[in-house]
Structure 1
């Protein structure tokens, strides 16, 4: 007999607008019912608040690719290229966002919705490769190159389609867009509707049976500007002013000095979270009336506090922004960034810290309607080009991935496309997949080496395990992030690294080792080794 889904899982499966209504009713808030109405297309169409921020960033540093998004699908079977091209045309006609470019009028970012726009399906043939491994490597390079090709926001199109032929019945399909017209949900919508239009083409129908769209993204942006006036925003902005007052940038130790202008170059380190640990984190949350997201956030904030030496940690997270039924099936950029600020006081208990993080998360979501762009304007009007404003690190929990999109006569599966662009210094992303929890750290390669980030992932797992095993009454300062091997390396006298550490600090243990055996080898890197005496001398020179 299968285990019934938990209440949290059942609630998370609801559409976002239904979850928003449920949250509002449970909090005793009035439910907003003012409908979004279509606006005159001959009038000036304002960019949404979220779009204004990306427009500003692009104008400040043109040609960036941090906000390129997309997905790739492996398609096995007899693919009809003509049907696919027709399906793309139908999708572009259906969603105005795919026909939108941007401009500025008197310094204001505006949307330009084009009556029609051609999005070519680019074709590339790699089937001549004799070695499948070499062919797949070439395909990954091509997909990555196209995904990271800059968009021109003024010219467009901001939506690209690439079909790569790998064999007679083997293709890779890449859909790529600029984030200013899309988000994660948009990609799911696009692939689902593309499959429906593809099936309609194969069956000779003039159109796919898709639900009507009551509004388009430009209508939402106009409604947002009309509704979120200065008066309406004042209460929410005041909350964020008080909540983020005195916030300092996150200063993680880096492998290289921070550049004066961040490049956005990034990489990803994936890691597995053991099933027993994932279950323990969920159980720890339930014991404190908190969601899995709260426990993941708490572990991440504690990790960053240990690495930075700062108790006051602000993390960003993303909300879908689709809290209305009209927006559920619409392609567009609805995501908003929230700031989660908590104090990882070493003298606090684990239970108190979890309660604090839970309160922070709930309050932030209660004020999620305030666009992040407006929070930045209110609190950080002077931009630092070396880092993102307000938050430099993110934490995100993705729901279980939806089923692979259905394309008639084809077997589809997602393809991983390597990318090296990131808008933040550091992001911990978690995904629930078929009852398992996967982790990934996206990091800025301007600052961090792969080995450093790998150790950070290990320390995250160490902290998570210690929190689960330690109990609510344990003091945070006593929670260790070291793994078994590291503890043995540091403490174990049998390894001869630091003796007598249990009676003093690491510094004291090292000093004792220098006095005892200055000629003994302390560290080895490749063909280079340093004795304790040499290491102590170098440390002294560095300190001076």
Structure 2
């Protein structure tokens, strides 16, 4: 509507509408319902990506709207009721299909439009639409690249998505690749390998297995997931669902052994999954929550035995008749962040199928994680490996071993991992400013926030050579998207902040750094550490101590009949000094600052987060502002804050002194 609100109508497909007699409103329609309205079309095109982002957190995939129609108001009948027949069809509405929509005109453009629509969940995409303005980001770009590889049989560098962000320009770039004008050898497809031979570990798996051999019983690499289930839960159906999940994903029934001088993985036969049930209903209601957290936290800290299994551990805690906490714990060697969405989606479908006495609606998996591990070992060697290593050796030559952020406590001689989390939200106004600046500079919102974060690190450390890490889903092959497994890779992002650059210049540098890293994301971080052999120090992690991560992996669309699924948060561990996770929603950016309690106090992290937002506000207001001016701005703010805190401390001390004097006088 004109006032900025939305009226939303849901109707079950095929349902019969309300019967009403024709009125004059059907006979006379406003002319603008049939006219092309470029302004309306532009407004809808701006709204749709935000609406899709917002709906991803609210609706399961099967309820996702196929079309969006923008109306000033819902049409009403003379008696004030909704006039359903007056609602325009999507193709008649002033929509994304009108005015600025340019349809594909070649087979290549048609294929690309279908790929973009699949990845971005758009009904139709015009060939002049900008991928990133439609809501795309680096992970989506990776998904497009993997689908282009399958459809066109060429290896498209990720950089191409940034340099050719429309279907029209991308089709031309792909045509050039097909003519051999650009180099890029596509990796072979992943195929299933025989199960009667030794199955190797992936590079990342082997690193975790080696760490487990050095320090058996360490729960640092546990990946606990805890869900609050409100509603009438069928425990038998849940047991069937978990059994189906483990049968579907071999990695969840895999154990790890030694054959000769190297580790192998062994896939165990399927078996029913059993889990303990802790019934807390006899406890006082006020004590149940604390006891549930204690039990869940204890399970999260219980180590896995990689040689004997199981690779997945579950338990159920009952707080009330219709209130349960489901704990699902895996070792990182078998899963990652993306896997969580796959796990929950598959589990909910198995549960729904058990409740409805039907077969699960899940496509068969063409490959399993063991096939990926064998493929990686066969592909990532020789020239491919040497090419990746050459890039990273050059990029990280002479990099500082430690990012020297001032800490509240001395760094322990041996790194410890107790952590805490500080949640923050970047306002709608600033989020819109970041997006506008990013579009203008040809970067993603993440690159803009990353540049701002590195500006903050420069202020904190005084260093001009800033090195940090970021997570990449590393599912560059379409076949891996439906798998549970350890795919995620840590990329090192090194930026030169020397020369007092403007924020615009810093953005350009960050764009090149990020695109270069994305193009060489196939080299596992563990293999990089093994090859570079940085000086090891037990007090900190090698190469990177700080992470800055865009959380853009697909969210779970889990729906369980009669159950409301919620979170049941537990205490966290921090494998790094600090890890900042940013997730974009429709109107804002939500941040989670996970930090090491042995190094930082909560107040310090709160100030860092506030300074980060202040820096971004200044950069958005004036992109030409110099790095030195940004540092001066933060220094002034910190000085004022320290003065305010000192004043509060003095006032509190004075009040205590006055109180003590009054007490002494009263006693006399």
Fold match, TM over 0.5? yes
SS at match of 1:287: helix
- For residues 8-50 of structure 1, the C-alpha deviation after alignment (integer angstroms, 9 at most, x for no partner) is 2543485953344556376355462622111122211111011
State the 1:362 CA deviation: 0.4
Alignment deviations for residues 457-492 of structure 1 (CA, whole Å, 9 cap, x no partner): 1111121112112x232211001453996464579x
**Equivalent in the alignment of 1:64:** 218
Determine helix, strand or coil for the equivalent of 2:190: coil
Matched residue of 2:565: which SS? strand
Q: Name the SS of the counterpart of 2:592 in structure 1.
A: strand
Which residue in 1 is equivalent to 2:387? Answer: 235
Match of 1:88 among 223, 227, 242: 242
1:488-536 CA-partner distances (Å, limit 9, x unpaired): 4579xxx898xxxxxxxxxxxxxxxxxxxxxxx997597599xxxxxxx
**SS state of the match for residue 495, structure 2?**
strand
| Distance in 1 (alpha carbons) for counterparts of 2:458 and 2:611 | 12
Match of 1:474 in 2: 625
For residues 354-396 of structure 1, what are the alpha-carbon distances to aligned partners after superposition, in whole Å with 9 as ceiling and x for unaligned?
Answer: 1001110000001111111121112125532221111111111
Change (3 A) 1:366 1:15: closer
2:197 counterpart residue number: 43
Residue in 2 that maps onto 1:220: 372
Q: CA deviation at 1:118?
A: 5.2
Structure 1 unaligned regions, length at least 5: 498-520, 530-544
Q: Distance in 1 between matches of 2:158 and 2:598?
A: 45
**Mapping of residues 260-409 of structure 1, within 5 Å:** 260-345=413-498, 347-380=500-533, 382-399=535-552, 402=555, 404-409=557-562
Q: Deviations over 1:120-164 (max 9, x none)?
A: 2221112234435x4223323322222232222222212111211
SS of the residue corresponding to residue 402 of structure 1 reads: coil
> Which structure carries more strand by proportion?
1
TM-aligned CA deviation for residue 65 of structure 1: 2.6
Relative contact order (alpha carbons < 8 A, sep ≥ 6): 1 or 2 greater?
Answer: 1
Q: Distance in 2 between matches of 1:490 and 1:79?
A: 53
Look up the SS of the partner of 1:211 in the other structure: coil
Contact 2:457/2:466 (CA < 8 Å) preserved in 1? Answer: yes
Give per-residue Cα distances to partners, 1:311-358, cap 9 Å, x unaligned. Answer: 111111111111112111111111111110002226111111110011
- What is aligned with 2:48? 4
1:7 CA drift (Å): 3.5
- Tell me: CA distance 1:359–1:485, structure 2 relative to 1, closer, same or farther (3 Å): closer
Structure 2 residue corresponding to 1:447, chosen from 599, 603, 617: 599
- 1:459 aligns to what? 611
Q: Which residue, 161, 171, 176 being the options, matches 2:324?
A: 171
Distance in structure 2 (CA, Å) of the matches to 1:525 and 1:57? 52
Partner SS for 1:214: coil
> How far apart, in 1, do the equivalents of 2:619 and 2:217 lie?
43
Judged with a 3 Å threshold, the aligned counterparts in structure 2 of structure 1 residues 435 and 43 are, in CA distance, closer, same or farther, namely: same
Aligned residues: 499
CA shift for structure 1 position 101: 1.8
Question: CA contact under 8 A between 1:143 and 1:417: conserved in structure 2?
Answer: no
Give per-residue Cα distances to partners, 1:193-252, cap 9 Å, x unaligned.
1111112212233x4221111111111100110111133210110110010001111111
Could you tell me how far apart the structure 2 residues matched to 1:386 and 1:496 are? 32
Rate the CA distance shift 1:403–1:102 in 2: closer, same or farther, 3 A.
closer
CA apart distance, 1:56: 2.4
Name the CA shift for 1:282/1:118 in 2 (closer, same or farther; >3 Å): same
Runs of 4+ in structure 1 deviating by more than 6 angstroms, as ranges, are: none
Q: How does 1:407-426 map to 2 (within 5 A)?
A: 407-413=560-566, 415-426=567-578
Cα pair distance change 1:487/1:450, threshold 3 Å? closer
Aligned equivalents of 1:60, 1:448: Cα separation in 2:
28
Matches of 1:33 and 1:21 in 2, distance apart?
13
In structure 1, what is the Cα distance between the partners aligned to 2:246 and 2:395? 42
Contact 1:264 1:444 in 2 (8 A): yes
Higher deviation after alignment, 304-313 or 28-37: 28-37
After TM superposition, the structure 1 = structure 2 runs for residues 496-507 of structure 1, keeping only pairs within 5 Å, are none
2:112 corresponding residue in structure 1 = none
The answer to whether the 8 A contact 2:419-2:596 is kept is: yes
TM-aligned CA deviation for residue 106 of structure 1:
4.5
Q: Which runs of 5+ in 2 are unaligned?
A: 2-43, 50-129, 149-155, 161-176, 178-182, 656-668
Q: 1:24 maps to which residue? A: 157
Could you tell me how far 1:298 is from its partner in structure 2?
A: 0.8
Which structure has the larger Rg? Answer: 2
Paired position in structure 2 for 1:514: none
SS, match of residue 314 in structure 2? strand
Contact 1:101/1:113 (8 A) holds in 2? yes
Contact 1:400 1:431 in 2 (8 A): no
Deviation of 1:91 after TM superposition, in Å, equals 0.9
Root-mean-square deviation (Å): 2.7
Matched residue of 1:315: which SS?
strand
